[in-house]
Structure 1
Amino acid sequence: MSTPLYKKPLRFNRLMQGRDLEAHDIGASISQYLELLIFTRFGEHRYKPDFGCEIWELDFELIVSESTWEEKLRQSLLKSITTHEQRIYDVQLDVHIKEVSKFYPLRNVSEIKKRVEIVVKGKVHQTGENYVFSTALYLSPLST
C-alpha cells in the first residue's frame, strides 16, 4: 500500500469530524513541491539552506541581458529540482521573461512588470508518465 499524498494546506477540522485528510495524486503533489522550491529563498529553510532557488537574488538585479538572466534562473532551478525532487527524472526546464504593462485609467497610472514564465517537463519515476508543470511570477513593479 502506498503512502497517501496529502493536499496542502492541511485541514485538521476534517480529523475532528472523523474524516481523513484530503489526498491527491502524485502529479499534484510534485506540483506543490515545485511551487515550494520556486517560492523559497536560499537559506530560508533552517535545516536545508540549499533548498529554494535564486529568483529572490535575481529579482533586484539590474537585467542587462534577459537571456543571461533567464539562463541563471534556469540553472538554479534545474539544480534545485534535480537535487530535491526525486520523483521526476529527465527534467527539462524553460524560463522566459516578458514585460507586461497595464494601465489603470481611474488613477491615471501605468505599471510595467516583468513576468517570468517557468515550464518544467519530466517523467514520473513511479509511473513513467510525462509530467508538465508551469507557473508565472511577476517581478519588479514599476509605476509611472
Structure 2
Amino acid sequence: MSGIFLNKPLRFNSIFTGADLQSTDLGKSISNHLELIIFTRFGEHRHQRNFGCEIWDLDFELIVSESIWEEKFRKSLLKSITSYELRIYNTEVEVRITEVENVYPLRKITEIKKKVDISVRSLIKNTGEKYFFNTALFLSPLST
C-alpha cells in the first residue's frame, strides 16, 4: 500500500503549473474515502456498481419507524465500508436520526428537518490505532 495519500478536492491546475497534488495523512484519507462511500449512490460508479450506500434510496422513503430506517441504513453503510475501505477493520457504525428545527424570523418560517448523525469506529490495519469518523446529513433534500 502506498504511503502517499491525496487530499480532496483534487486541484488539477497544480499539475499544469509543475506542482504536486496536495497530500494528506492516512486518517484524513480514510475519512475522505468514507465520505465518498456515503455520498455515492449504488450504481453510480461505472466499474463498481455496488460501491456507495443506500442513503440515496432511503432519503425520500417515508420513515414509518426511525429505528428500522436507522438499522437498514447502518447495515448498508457497514457492508460498503467493510467491502471498500480495506485500511480499517473491526468496524462499528452508528446511525441516529433526530429532528432539527430552524427558525427564520425575517421570513416567519419554521423548518423542521431530519438530521442523520453517522459515527464510524474502527482500527487502522497498519498501525492498530483507533480510528473515529463522524458526520451529519440532513434529509430531503440531502445536504451537509
TM-score (norm 2): 0.93
Q: Which amino acid aligns with 2:82?
A: T
Deviations 1:86-110, CA, capped at 9 Å, x for gaps: 0000001110000001111111111
Q: In the TM superposition, what is the alpha-carbon distance from 1:35 to its structure 2 partner?
A: 0.2
Q: Which amino acid aligns with 2:138?
A: Y
Q: Which amino acid aligns with 2:24?
A: H
Q: In the TM superposition, what is the alpha-carbon distance from 1:136 to its structure 2 partner?
A: 0.2
1:38-117 pair list within 5 angstroms: 38-117=38-117
Please give the alpha-carbon distance, in whole angstroms, between the structure 2 residues aligned to 1:55 and 1:91: 19
Please give the alpha-carbon distance, in whole angstroms, between the structure 1 residues aligned to 2:34 and 2:16: 30
Please give the alpha-carbon distance, in whole angstroms, between the structure 2 residues aligned to 1:56 and 1:2: 32
Q: Which amino acid aligns with 1:99?
A: E
Classify the secondary structure of the residue corresponding to 1:136. strand
Please give the alpha-carbon distance, in whole angstroms, between the structure 2 residues aligned to 1:2 and 1:42: 27
Q: In the TM superposition, what is the alpha-carbon distance from 1:85 to its structure 2 partner?
A: 0.5
Please give the alpha-carbon distance, in whole angstroms, between the structure 1 residues aligned to 2:66 and 2:44: 26
Change (3 A) 1:98 1:43: same
Q: In the TM superposition, what is the alpha-carbon distance from 1:18 to its structure 2 partner?
A: 3.0
Please give the alpha-carbon distance, in whole angstroms, between the structure 2 residues aligned to 1:37 and 1:73: 13
Question: Could you list the runs of 4 or more consecutive aligned residues of structure 1 that deviate by over 6 angstroms after TM superposition?
Answer: none
Deviations 1:4-59, CA, capped at 9 Å, x for gaps: 11111222333333332211111000000000000011111111110000011111
Q: Which amino acid aligns with 1:88?
A: I
> Which sections of structure 2, spanning at least 5 residues, go unmatched?
none
> Which sections of structure 1, spanning at least 5 residues, go unmatched?
none
Classify the secondary structure of the residue corresponding to 1:140. coil
1:7-26 pair list within 5 angstroms: 7-26=7-26
Cα RMSD for the two superposed structures:
1.4
Q: Which amino acid aligns with 1:119?
A: S
Q: Which amino acid aligns with 1:53?
A: C
Classify the secondary structure of the residue corresponding to 2:111. strand
TM-score (norm 1): 0.93
Q: In the TM superposition, what is the alpha-carbon distance from 1:140 to its structure 2 partner?
A: 2.4
Change (3 A) 1:65 1:90: same
